Structure 1
Amino acid sequence: MKILLYGINFSPELTGIGKYTGEMAAWFAANGHDVRVITAAPYYPAWKVGAGYSASQYRTETWNGVRVYRTPLWVPHQPGGLKRLIHLASFAASSLPVLLAQWRWKPDVVWVVEPPLMCAPAAVAFASLRGAKSWLHIQDYEMDAAFDLGLIKGATLRCWVAGAERWLMRRFDRVSTISSRMVDQALSKGVSAERVVHFPNWVDISGITPLAAPSAYRADLGLVADAVVALYSGNMGNKQGLEILADVARLLQGDPRIQLVFGGNGSGRADLQTRCAGLPNVRFLDLQPLERLNDWLGLADVHLLPQRADAADLVMPSKLTGMLASGRAVLATANPETELGRVVMQDAACGLVVPPENPAAMAEALRALAADPARRAELGANGRRYAERELSQDVILRRFEAELMALVQGDAA
């Protein structure tokens, strides 16, 4: 198949959508498909264009057998509601000529990822005119999340945006998303059931495995042998509700055995660092290199997974897959009836869930896990088994490949 992937985030970004799109592109290329990618220069989650890349120039490169077209975009240093919209619009506009240039190549499938939804109109129009199939993959319901989190405001505007979104989603041949609750959301927006596909995020279960010895990061950070490490790793943005981590750290500062390590970058990091100023039990690191990812995730005795209540079921934290594969216990903030709550407490049985935005409950749960290494080991082993059974990269992408081929070959039959 000729597969055109279209989205603002791509490798070498280490977290979120760029990580998954990059891994998917490489997998399809390695399995004999002709893959092209239209994307931007890497900038996420630091909101700063990576070294060696330009925000103002077009560039073509070959990466792991994939032809990658990078287009200009504007990257704000502090993304807010309006700035974020301008940022996304800049990529949608600059990438349009590159999309049209694929006319002669004639892809079989145009696969576009949300966010940003702004690229979807051009993608579905191009596919329709060129005789290709169109596929919208939703990692986050960005419009719903933006309004619910207060990044964009206005009841009239929300009503108009929701109507436009519903109309647009129904134009695609397939719409996929990463969790069953998000599938339900697609159905509620008027996409017919036969067009909706559950396409979850995955994890490289051979690349991320439970450590047999203590992580080298313990020595790097000067941690004592019996320290219990609570690790937050990933993007530090608005939908995570990171402020609870500072409150938890403050509540636990009298317990020297519990050390909190926060690794990542993003628009919310500076505020979190300010909130944690002077706390002896907190350490900050940048995102760690991919070659040290297994050791990094294995640093945790407990993985911390905060999420705001108003983002429930609009986003599914992609970082959860690596947590499960690492074989470490998880402590999440979520209501039990949400999908995140159900996965952590029931499906994977990998950890504890406490109410969102309740630092006292989170601190108490962390104390309980810190005092019970046998329970942590049991929860971590449960999570690892779930990852092996449900989240294998090859299993998920092989299933997706079959869906794509059935879609493409349906016209030829």
Structure 2
Amino acid sequence: MRILFLGLNYAPEEIGIGLYSGDMTKAWVEAGHDVRAIVAVPYYPAWKVHAAYSGKGWQRSVEGGVDVTRCPIYVPAKPNGMRRLLHHVSFLAAALPTMLAAALGRKRPDLVFTVAPSLISAPIAWLASRLSGTQCWLHIQDFEMEAALATGLVGDGGVLAKLGRWFEQRVIGLFDHVSSISPQMCAKLAEKGVPRSRIHEVRNWADIAAITPYQGQSPYKAQWRVTTPYVALYSGNIANKQGIDIVLDAARLLRDRTDLTFIICGQGPNRAALEELASDLTNIQFHDLQDRERLNELLGLATLHLMPQLAGAADLVLPSKLTNMLASGRPVVATAEPGTGLAEEIVDCGIITQPGSAKAFAEGIESLLENPTLAAHYGENGRQRAEKRWAKDQILARLDAELINVVNASKLPHRIDTERSAGTT
């Protein structure tokens, strides 16, 4: 097949959506497909364009067999609601001419595939599919509008909220096929009126061959001069969806424990403010995101992983970091309401506590430190769950088969009509 891909985030971004989009398109090439990707310059999670891509306009290259065009966009250093909107609109404007050229060119696609975020740019993918006479597929990594409401980025009940909900439902309804990353998020698509025959579950994945339960002492322990036997680790984006303040509150409640170090490893718009809030704490360290090649060493540093999440976001996003946390064979302490998608994924792999309760979060951490047998049991279960639900090769192979079926089915009526006009059956 010839696949035209549109996505705001893309490799070499090493966490979040960019990582998955890069892996996905390269897997399509390995499966024998011809892939063209129209993406933004890399900027996430630091919200700063990577130096190698800055100030160069549109850039085209072949990466892992994928024909990649990178579009220049507006990247706010301190994103808020309006600046994020302009950020997404800038990608729409920059990607539009390239997408139209790809759709109408000599090598027209068999399928147009786009990822949300950014939903604002998704209509370009739909238009490209209609101009080229092909199927269009929307993959939703998170429900942007509802997440913005849940985290207070956009006020509920205002004109912007109403317009956002209307736009979201209209755009999702345009696509021939829509996928998302968890059963709960797929159910939300059905609630929004998408026929179940058009809904697909495409989970994010863990590289279970590269991420394994670490044996021995992680090199990071000496590198970062961690002297305590236990480490509570948060690694990932530092933004408002995570509700990461609770980690600082728990560190403050457990500051008298001389056997525990909290480590926050990540970047994002809220990091400077967090470091300021934690300036009086001696039991917490902040570090930048580490190279992907050392991810197993980083995850192996953890005695337990921390997964804070705001209450309203638990069924609107499923944090991508969870996959590798489970694959690492370490238990997780998460904040989630019972019955939510996040809680369901962590059941019997860690401790689930009430969102917003630093006391409960701290007690969950202590309960695992005081019961190493239970912690080991949760870690082993997490590894088994990763192997069963989150294996990269299996997930990408299933997606490839579904895409082939979609394209073949879309061509079937034309083939039947052609055969009938030729007098065959």
Could you say which TM-score interval applies, normalised by the shorter chain? over 0.9
Alignment correspondent of 1:276: 278
Aligned 8 A contact 2:119 2:171 in 1: no
Alignment correspondent of 2:419: none
Offset at residue 221 of structure 1 (A): 1.6
Alignment correspondent of 1:120: 122
Alignment correspondent of 1:372: 371
Alignment correspondent of 1:255: 257
Offset at residue 164 of structure 1 (A): 2.6
Alignment correspondent of 1:185: 188
Q: Does 1:176 align with 2:182?
A: no
Q: 1:304 aligns with which of 303, 306, 316?
A: 306
Instruction: Please report the RMSD computed on the Cα atoms of aligned residues, expressed in angstroms.
Output: 1.1
Alignment correspondent of 2:322: 320
- Determine the C-alpha separation between the residues in 2 that align with 1:295 and 1:402: 34
Alignment correspondent of 2:291: 289
Offset at residue 157 of structure 1 (A): 3.0
- Determine the C-alpha separation between the residues in 2 that align with 1:260 and 1:308: 20
Aligned 8 A contact 2:135 2:410 in 1: no
- Determine the C-alpha separation between the residues in 1 that align with 2:259 and 2:164: 49
Offset at residue 56 of structure 1 (A): 5.5
- Determine the C-alpha separation between the residues in 2 that align with 1:378 and 1:55: 51
More displaced 10-residue stretch of structure 1: 50-59 or 99-108:
50-59
Offset at residue 337 of structure 1 (A): 1.4
Offset at residue 364 of structure 1 (A): 1.0
Aligned 8 A contact 1:120 1:136 in 2: yes
SS of structure 2 residue aligned to 1:223: coil
Offset at residue 17 of structure 1 (A): 0.3
- Determine the C-alpha separation between the residues in 2 that align with 1:193 and 1:99: 29
- Determine the C-alpha separation between the residues in 2 that align with 1:323 and 1:312: 17
- Determine the C-alpha separation between the residues in 2 that align with 1:5 and 1:126: 11
Alignment correspondent of 2:357: 358
Offset at residue 275 of structure 1 (A): 1.2
Structure 2 unaligned segments of length 5 or more: list them.
413-425
Q: Does 1:101 align with 2:101?
A: yes
- Determine the C-alpha separation between the residues in 2 that align with 1:81 and 1:385: 40
Alignment correspondent of 2:24: 24
Which whole-Å deviations, capped at 9, do the CAs of 1:206-263 have from their partners, x for residues lacking one? 0101112111111112223x51100000000110001111111111110011110100
Alignment correspondent of 1:162: 165
- Determine the C-alpha separation between the residues in 1 that align with 2:271 and 2:198: 39
Aligned 8 A contact 1:35 1:66 in 2: yes
- Determine the C-alpha separation between the residues in 1 that align with 2:56 and 2:77: 16
Alignment correspondent of 1:69: 69
Alignment correspondent of 1:42: 42
Which whole-Å deviations, capped at 9, do the CAs of 1:33-61 have from their partners, x for residues lacking one? 11111111110000011121125511001
Alignment correspondent of 2:244: 242
- Determine the C-alpha separation between the residues in 1 that align with 2:380 and 2:279: 35
Q: 1:330 aligns with which of 305, 318, 332?
A: 332
Which whole-Å deviations, capped at 9, do the CAs of 1:187-221 have from their partners, x for residues lacking one? 11111110000111111100101112111111112
Alignment correspondent of 1:385: 384
Aligned 8 A contact 1:71 1:94 in 2: yes
SS of structure 2 residue aligned to 1:127: helix
Aligned 8 A contact 1:307 1:333 in 2: yes
Offset at residue 326 of structure 1 (A): 0.5
Which whole-Å deviations, capped at 9, do the CAs of 1:371-396 have from their partners, x for residues lacking one? 22222111111000111111111111
Aligned 8 A contact 1:41 1:55 in 2: no
SS of structure 2 residue aligned to 1:110: strand
Name the amino acid aligned to 1:38: I
Alignment correspondent of 1:199: 202
SS of structure 1 residue aligned to 2:242: coil
SS of structure 2 residue aligned to 1:239: helix
Q: Give 1:51-90 correspondences, 5 Å limit.
A: 51-55=51-55, 57-90=57-90
CA gap 1:379/1:55 in 2 versus in 1, 3 angstroms: farther
Name the amino acid aligned to 1:58: W
More displaced 10-residue stretch of structure 1: 122-131 or 134-143:
122-131
Which whole-Å deviations, capped at 9, do the CAs of 1:341-372 have from their partners, x for residues lacking one? 11111xxx210000011001111111111122
How does the TM-score come out when normalised to structure 2? 0.94
Identity %: 45
- Determine the C-alpha separation between the residues in 2 that align with 1:340 and 1:264: 21
- Determine the C-alpha separation between the residues in 2 that align with 1:137 and 1:411: 19
How does the TM-score come out when normalised to structure 1? 0.97
Aligned 8 A contact 1:55 1:73 in 2: no
- Determine the C-alpha separation between the residues in 2 that align with 1:405 and 1:355: 43
Alignment correspondent of 1:12: 12
